Chain A
Amino acid sequence: MVENRPFLDFMTHLVLITGVIVVAFPVYVAFIASTHEPDAFVRGVMPLLPGDNLIESYSTMLKSGLDIGGTPPVWLMLGNSLVMALIVAFGKIFISILSAFAIVYFRFPFRILAFWIIFITLMLPVEVRIIPTYEVVANLGMLNSYAGLTLPLIASATATFLFRQFFMTVPDELMEASRMDGAGPMKFFRDILIPVSVTNISALFVIMFIYGWVQYLWPLLVTTEEGFYTIVMGIKRLMATADREPAWNLIMATVTLAMLPPVLVVLFMQRLFVKGLTETEK
């Protein structure tokens, strides 16, 4: 900064440390809860220091799940979430990069119309079309399937726009040079365009993976079989038991496990994550 102001510097750090603590505190409490035995929650205030039931809580949930809640083992739900997030992320990138390529590198009738059809999806988040979309998926026989979980989510105007924007900044001469070099459209796409888009693809992948992982309402509707539960919606089933029998340690173990993969992705791929987030601008 411009000048030296020790007091202001001190305040700055104080605010930041407070901020970090407030942001982290709920997660800390949840994790602590997961390390205790069920009877730690019967009366008084929730524990704030670690207990000794960590391994027990996590292995119970991972291996067998909660019978009363009707949830399958957590590892299965984690697996489903992973599959779902990966399909959503890959699917979105795949179909969006192809459409952006068509829109930028070709001139053809109905090009503008196609662009607007894609644009419309921005205005139709799954929350406003729940019931009719559910009916479509049901009619196609895709309830309780990975296809039903993911397909209605993978159309992406955002990703298409991002790639379109990026392709417009790729020098025209690159495509022209490749044409001189005897490469047709798909060869150019594969040999040149995809390699120069790698950073953008990965950044988008991080964002879309998280998007796929945190989905809640949609999996809640289309999966009735335990075998297809995702971890995020599985929490809801667990919660249903919370009023009867507060197995807080188990719920919080599940919550911790549900948070872990996407949070790790953000932490370890922070550069890509920030790039993806600030460039997609939702």
Chain B
Amino acid sequence: MASITLEGLKKTYSGDVHAVQGIDLTIQDGELVVLVGPSGCGKSTLLRMVAGLETITQGTLKIGHQVVNTLEPAERDIAMVFQNYALYPHMTVYNNLAYGLKNRGFKKEEIKKRVHNAAKILEIDDFLERKPRRLSGGQRQRVAMGRALVRDPKVFLFDEPLSNLDAKLRVQMRVEIKKLQRRLKTTSLYVTHDQLEAMTLGDRLVVLNAGKIEQVGTPMEIYSRPATMFVAGFIGSPAMNMVPLKYIQDIDNKNLSLNLPAPTDTLGIRPDAICLSPPESPHLTIEATLELFEAAGSESHLYIRLANSEQPAVIRTNGQPPQHEGEMLRVYVAHEALHPFDSRTGKRTD
């Protein structure tokens, strides 16, 4: 068990491609931290630097108290689960799990014990003699996890381990990974581009964009107080509405009497913060046209355009609007649900 410390970590490719631009981050012992961001944000590179598969251009990487910058992957006492599982196609499941232990000179008895133990935890003990090609996607995923598990490493690294699974299996495996991590309490770093996966899995989230950290925090912190417009737009689905301040007209109160901090020029409003009936707390009242209504079972989405500005916005609600498509409606937003941003810096202003 160990913490992971990243100090000013940088990765530069062929002189001028800055994939990772100075990351400072500490992952506590036993914590599950999720690196999340769009493709190309540097999250995989960062994970692979921790793994030792990419060299570190600048900065210090510690696992526990040991600086591991130049250590081979095998010497870092870590295990990794790959997106495409990377199972050795010509080896049985048993040998896939045992390979790392054999290379490390474990005794036969010990290997056997560990493999069977891991196989039991992951419920793959019936397939130990099969080759990977005779396994389903979910089973392969389990074997990949098992390969990490048998080694009992200080750190687990997950590189988008669920993206090759179908939607249903993905949810199921997500829950299992979380349970397993809770049980083993192994420090884990998990990379995904799926914000829902990140929210549900992580003790903490690290939102990355263009090689830099946008925000670090617990899922709820990040959801309720996104530090930047990027985070606000990336976390949460449907994405947060970003409305230029000048387009917002409160029809009850011609002079927008909000107490907004100085450089605010954009308001972020979550789709579920726009209500169809007025809340009790102080709120805005806005007129809009209903463009499209989308019923998705437990919830429905309303696509509207604000009156006078044609600014589009999305509402998430669980009711059905009284209006028809093309008609005007009034929507309400509580003052406390507004996220003020400065679009020039992209930062939150309060």
Contact = CB atoms under 8 A, between A and B. Distances in A.
Given A181-B99, A182-B74, A187-B103, A173 B86 contact: yes
Interface string A162-189: 0000000001011011111111000100
A180 B84 contact: no
Given A173-B82, A179-B72, A192 B88 contact: yes
3 closest Cβ contacts across the A-B interface? A173-B86, A181-B100, A182-B103
Nearest to A176: B53
B53 A179 contact: yes
A191 interface: yes
A27 interface: no
B284 interface: no
Contact of A177 (B72, B80, B90): B80
A180 B99 CA distance: 10
Nearest to B81: A177
A173 B84 contact: yes
A198 B89 CA distance: 12
A174 B80 contact: no
Contacts of A182: 74, 100, 103-104
B23 interface: no
B99 A176 contact: no
A8 B79 CA distance: 63
Contacts of A180: 51, 73-74, 78-80, 100
Q: Report, as a range, how many residues of chain B touch the other chain.
A: 20 to 34
A280 B99 CA distance: 33
B147 interface: yes
B142 to A, nearest CB: 15
A124 to B, nearest CB: 34
Contacts of A174: 86, 88
B86 A177 contact: yes
B103 A183 contact: yes
A181 B74 contact: yes
Interface in A32-49: none
A198 B90 CA distance: 10
A176 B74 contact: no
Q: Which of A171, A173, A180, A182 has the most CB of B within 10 A?
A: A180
A195 interface: yes
Interface string B59-90: 00000000000001110001110111110111
A185 to B, nearest CB: 11
Contacts of A98: none
Given A182-B74, A196-B90, A176 B80 contact: yes
B147 to A, nearest CB: 7
A191 B86 contact: no
Interface in A185-231: 187, 191-192, 195-196, 198
A171 B103 CA distance: 21
A49 B78 CA distance: 75
A67 to B, nearest CB: 54
